[in-house]
Structure 1
């Protein structure tokens, strides 16, 4: 969230506490994003962006969104823009850069 959105969030939590009390309480958790520049252990062979997106790793196993890989990553998103992984509270994005391109296979 940017500064304005963070300020709005804290305003909402204050209003919520005033109206409903302390429990349940709202928490803002910041999960840092890491781009492809990091050295991560995620060896993939193929990516499918179809109706049911998935990634095929070098072990030749297909991993759908929501699956956990042997390296301990949970696949949270697969889009033409990139693969989003979650591990240890961190969100890691592997940028693919296909968003907006026309990919028409005419073979």
Structure 2
């Protein structure tokens, strides 16, 4: 994966009993805050397959970074135009906090 998302999450499916790996950014795509963020911009991420998101990472519209260690914490940023959704995750890749940010006149404003 590109440097924009170099973290991998291992998940398991209780229905098919398989484990799979995915980039950290992909693990938050279907979170309610992400779905709403894109829905308000005319994009239904729930109607897209996970493979359709590769361009978001390769174009660095989706990024992730580790923000703390002991315990590990991460931030995933999803961008659309001048808007950002920042999702803060704990060491289990669970979203613990979100914030929306809008760029206005070259500066970001939180909402």
More helix by share: 2
Q: Tell me the TM-score normalized by structure 2.
A: 0.28
Answer with 1 or 2: which has the greater Rg: 1
More strand by share: 2
Q: Tell me the TM-score normalized by structure 1.
A: 0.29
